Structure 1
């Protein structure tokens, strides 16, 4: 009885399978990393879209109650005066228009404040319907005629980028509220308003 010759290629297929599995695992890790980056980009995009809606909401509120437009303006000093996260709703501080018009302005600012804090959607006891750390400002620029109002909404982005005031010095809403401001995002809309109370 003779012995069968040993096959020298024995185990070769197993090594091929292990190498293929290693390559596939590296590919799957890369795919997971790309998915995480895409998810962050999608969250940033969603927050920007929400901010645009909230800016336009306040612009529409001011335009609808033009006779007391001055009630809506509150100027942030180093980011300390704003509506939204970590603040109380601003109220009309001037003697503009009638009491009913001022009450409407107060109601508008309270509603906007609530939208900034996420009151539009709740998850349990938490308000989750807004951007992360959303804050809003309405700034009156009286150095030009007619007066120009700037509505700004700021929020905390997911990753550090550029300080908004390095791009435009007028983007002052919620300055200093997000660390070094590299994660602060700001959307702003300016619109003129004739002085109807002059």
Structure 2
């Protein structure tokens, strides 16, 4: 009987150590999962902000259909937004307001604009030239910098602005068709 107790001495300590190791591996896995969840949440937030800004500009172009060609531009809010004043056209006012929204002016924390995507840019290009009886077509796009590399978008808005190979560049775009009603 005494010999049997000597053999079992220390066995519970090994069980406790193995349990701690298994628990630590599980906790490290949960920490990694939490990190990925935060990254995914930020990517989702940026995409939803981009879609809101995209829809905003599409609505502005549709509201000023006769002057849709005045909206063709590539805005780079990192440089500077267009300044408007008295006598500015509706299109230039819309572009200036869109530019400040791309900078994140919708939400301010202290003096910093924090309500938009990382490095947001807006582009409006004419994809089909206007002709009599043929609708004009425009492509409105918003580009920003993502957090993880992904497939390179085919749309050129913001190209070569987000890293060496554009793998961090994200773009959402929608076409706008302006009918010729004359």
Please say if residues 164 and 184 of structure 1, whose CA atoms lie closer than 8 Å, have aligned partners that are also in contact: yes
Alignment of 1:40 with 2:39, yes or no, is yes
Please say if residues 84 and 114 of structure 1, whose CA atoms lie closer than 8 Å, have aligned partners that are also in contact: no
Q: Which residue of 2 aligns with 1:121?
A: 107
Q: Which residue of 1 aligns with 2:156?
A: 172
Q: CA deviation at 1:153?
A: 0.1
Unaligned runs of 5+ in 2: none
Q: 2: CA distance between counterparts of 1:117 and 1:83?
A: 10
Q: 2: CA distance between counterparts of 1:116 and 1:20?
A: 51
Please say if residues 133 and 156 of structure 1, whose CA atoms lie closer than 8 Å, have aligned partners that are also in contact: yes
Q: 1: CA distance between counterparts of 2:136 and 2:59?
A: 17
Alignment of 1:131 with 2:105, yes or no, is no
Q: 2: CA distance between counterparts of 1:90 and 1:152?
A: 18
1:71-118 alpha-carbon deviations (Å, 9 max, x no partner): 1112xxxxxxx22431333589xxxxxx96x52222111110001001
Please say if residues 77 and 100 of structure 2, whose CA atoms lie closer than 8 Å, have aligned partners that are also in contact: no
Q: CA deviation at 1:195?
A: 4.7
Change over 3 Å in CA distance of 1:55–1:136 after alignment to 2: same
1:135-163 alpha-carbon deviations (Å, 9 max, x no partner): 00111123473110110000001111111
Q: CA deviation at 1:44?
A: 1.0
Unaligned runs of 5+ in 1: 75-81, 93-98, 166-170
Alignment of 1:88 with 2:80, yes or no, is yes
Q: CA deviation at 1:55?
A: 0.5
Q: Which residue of 2 aligns with 1:155?
A: 144
TM-score, normalised with respect to structure 2: 0.87
Q: 2: CA distance between counterparts of 1:188 and 1:24?
A: 46
Corresponding residue pairs, total: 175
Cα RMSD of the aligned pairs, angstroms, is: 2.2
